[in-house]
Amino acid sequence: MFLKSVFLVYSLLVLRVYAANIMGLSPFKMSVIQPLLSSSKNSQIDCDHHSVKSSKRWDVVDMLKAMAKIDSTVGYEYEVMHWLRDVLEEQGMTVEMQLVEDEHQSVTGLARHNIYAYMGKTRDTSIVVSSHIDTNPEGNIPYHEIGEEIHVRGACDAKGPAAGQIVAFFELWDASIIKEGDVSLLFVIGEEYNGIGMKTAVESLNATWSKAAIFGEPTENKLSKGHKGNFRFDVEAWGKKSHSGYPELGFSAIEFYLRKANTLLNAELPYSPVLGPTTVNIGTIHGGVAANIIPDYVKAEMYIRVADDIEKVKAYVEELFNTEHSQMTIVQYLKPQYLSFDVPGFELIACAYATDIPYFESIDVKKYLYGPGSISVAHTQAEFVTVTDLYDSVIGYKNLITYNL
Ligand SMILES: *[C@@H]1O[C@H](CO)[C@@H](O)[C@H](O)[C@H]1NC(C)=O
């Protein structure tokens, strides 16, 4: 299902490039930087204070609107990342674009990049602030506002968080609370498909961070205590067809699977005092031919959100489904993440969705997850973020950064 939608995205992209070619247009005409920024021509570089002062900074709402109007469905990130590079450079940052290569997405033929931005020449910083800029392929949402709600794909997942982070960075910079070497910004692609952006950044950006990593995702501006791990797998079972009146002559693959699945649903799976229960979803079941035939095949797609001890969950599931009649195949295996929530003044939340944070496993810093908007609307046609939440997130990000300086 997911792969199909990704494939659809690529087909559309290829069409778009093709159509643009016949019209003699560049499909990715660089977006014009908002007129707002033209005033930054008056930027002054104040070397004594190691600060680049721009006379005009972005407002967080304008930043989200401008960013979200550029389609950046996973696989299409080329244009938005070039736009973001220009914006951050205009505001005085040193910006690196890191090429991300991914065999699954070479069909587009377009380069895809992460952005790593910092002040001056100091790549290694105490704190890295990060968000993904790609959006999920659940379909476009035409930009509109309902009261103070901003509706657009990426409003909260995760361009709203990214906008909050950027504005927080510059407010701290302009107030001389942070200086060169304190904070870098890392914006990645591919989070909504396979995390290739963050994986590439961790493997080959060659930057080091010493104190904290602050990740942006919708947490309702609450500080996340952590998020559950992903154990995603397919199960296939094989039986023998027969007339349904004579089940003893066959072997029902569906019945076999259902009994096993029922055992799993009733099993006591690891509970975490921080993240809550481990939950099981049987996402799809396909199999059988007709009501009057004992079915000889079934395939189910399953997803366990693991609160604790993923090794144990894996061993249990393997023992249950790897039998002479059935086989399971692991699709994704990501450990639960326990995050830092030591910064005072935040409400707390436990999350049950996946992020790029597991790729940071080898990096020994405190990890935080925080951002405006709610996961309950992300990945739906109702995705939005409120203006109030956006402004509040700037304060939240500033608090997380200053606490860790
Ligand atoms: C990081 O180091 C590797 C190995 O030396 C190199 O191939 C890669 O280009 C470096 N990355 C950057 C962003 O400089």
pLDDT reported for residue 324:
98
Q: Return the domain boundaries, the chain.
A: 55-226+338-403, 229-334
Q: How many C-beta atoms surround the C-beta of residue 91 within 10 A? A: 21
Cα separation, 64 vs 158, in Å, equals 10
* 130 alpha carbon – ligand 1 mean position (Å): 20
- Strand bridging mode 125-132 / 183-188: parallel
* 207 alpha carbon – ligand 1 mean position (Å): 10
Active-site residue, selected from the candidate residues 90, 191, 217, 236: 191
Q: Which atom number of ligand 1 is nearest to the Cα of residue 98?
A: 13
Q: What is the pTM of this model?
A: 0.80
Write phi, then psi, for 243 (nearest 5 degrees): -60, 135
- Strand bridging mode 94-100 / 144-146: unpaired
* 113 alpha carbon – ligand 1 mean position (Å): 15
Q: What is the separation of C-alpha 61 from the centre of its chain, rounded to a whole number of angstroms?
A: 21
Residue of 118, 205, 206, 208 to test ligand 1 pocket, by largest number of atoms within 8 Å of CB? 206
Tell the residue number behind the tokens 């690891």, with chain if given. Answer: 270
Pick the residue whose CA is nearest to atom 13 on ligand 1.
205
Q: State the greatest distance between any 2 C-alpha atoms of the chain, in Å, as a whole number.
A: 89
Per-residue burial over 345-369, b if 16 or more Cβ lie within 10 Å, else e, is: ebeebbbbebbbbbbbeeeebbbbb
pLDDT reported for residue 194:
84
Q: Which atom number of ligand 1 is nearest to the Cα of residue 116?
A: 13
* 206 alpha carbon – ligand 1 mean position (Å): 6
DSSP classification of residue 33 = P
Residue of 204, 205, 208 to test ligand 1 pocket, by largest number of atoms within 8 Å of CB? 204
Tokens representing 249 are 């002559």
Q: Which atom number of ligand 1 is nearest to the Cα of residue 206?
A: 1
* 188 alpha carbon – ligand 1 mean position (Å): 17
Tokens representing 166 are 């950027």
Pick the residue whose CA is nearest to atom 10 on ligand 1.
204
Question: What are the residue ranges of helices labelled H in 59-118?
Answer: 60-68, 78-90
Pick the residue whose CA is nearest to atom 3 on ligand 1.
204
* 164 alpha carbon – ligand 1 mean position (Å): 30
pLDDT reported for residue 55:
54
Active-site residue, 191 included: yes
Q: Which residues contact 328 (CB under 8 A, 6 or more apart)?
A: 233, 234, 235, 236, 317, 318, 321, 322
* 190 alpha carbon – ligand 1 mean position (Å): 20
Pick one of 3.30.565.10, 3.40.630.10, 3.40.50.20, 3.40.50.360 as the CATH number of 55-226+338-403. Answer: 3.40.630.10
pLDDT tens over the chain, length 405 residues: 343 344 444 444 444 333 333 333 333 333 333 333 333 333 333 333 444 445 589 999 999 999 999 999 998 999 999 999 999 999 999 999 999 988 766 456 788 999 999 999 999 999 999 999 999 988 899 999 999 999 999 999 999 999 999 999 999 999 999 999 999 999 999 998 889 999 999 999 999 999 999 999 999 999 999 999 999 999 999 999 999 999 999 999 999 999 999 999 999 999 999 999 999 999 999 999 999 999 999 999 999 999 999 999 999 999 999 999 999 999 889 899 999 999 999 999 999 888 999 999 999 999 999 999 999 999 999 999 999 999 999 999 999 999 999
323: closest CA among 253, 271, 240, 250? Answer: 253
Burial class from Cβ neighbours inside 10 Å (0-12, 13-18, 19+) for residue 49 reads exposed
pLDDT reported for residue 23:
33
Write phi, then psi, for 190 (nearest 5 degrees): 75, 5
Pick the residue whose CA is nearest to atom 6 on ligand 1.
204
Pick the residue whose CA is nearest to atom 8 on ligand 1.
204
Q: What is the separation of C-alpha 188 from the centre of its chain, rounded to a whole number of angstroms?
A: 9
Cα separation, 403 vs 405, in Å, equals 6
* 203 alpha carbon – ligand 1 mean position (Å): 9
Q: Which atom number of ligand 1 is nearest to the Cα of residue 205?
A: 13
Burial class from Cβ neighbours inside 10 Å (0-12, 13-18, 19+) for residue 44 reads exposed
Tell the residue number behind the tokens 């608090």, with chain if given. Answer: 399
Fold classification of 229-334 (topology level): Alpha-Beta Plaits (3.30.70)
Name every protein residue with a CB atom under 6 angstroms from any ligand 1 atom.
Answer: 98, 204-206
C-alpha distance from residue 298 to each of 161, 232, 282, 318 (Å): 42, 17, 13, 17
Cα separation, 30 vs 86, in Å, equals 10
Question: What angle do the packed helices 159-174 and 387-403 form, to 10 degrees?
Answer: 50
Asked whether this chain's domains 55-226+338-403 and 229-334 adopt the same fold, the reply is no
pLDDT reported for residue 103:
73
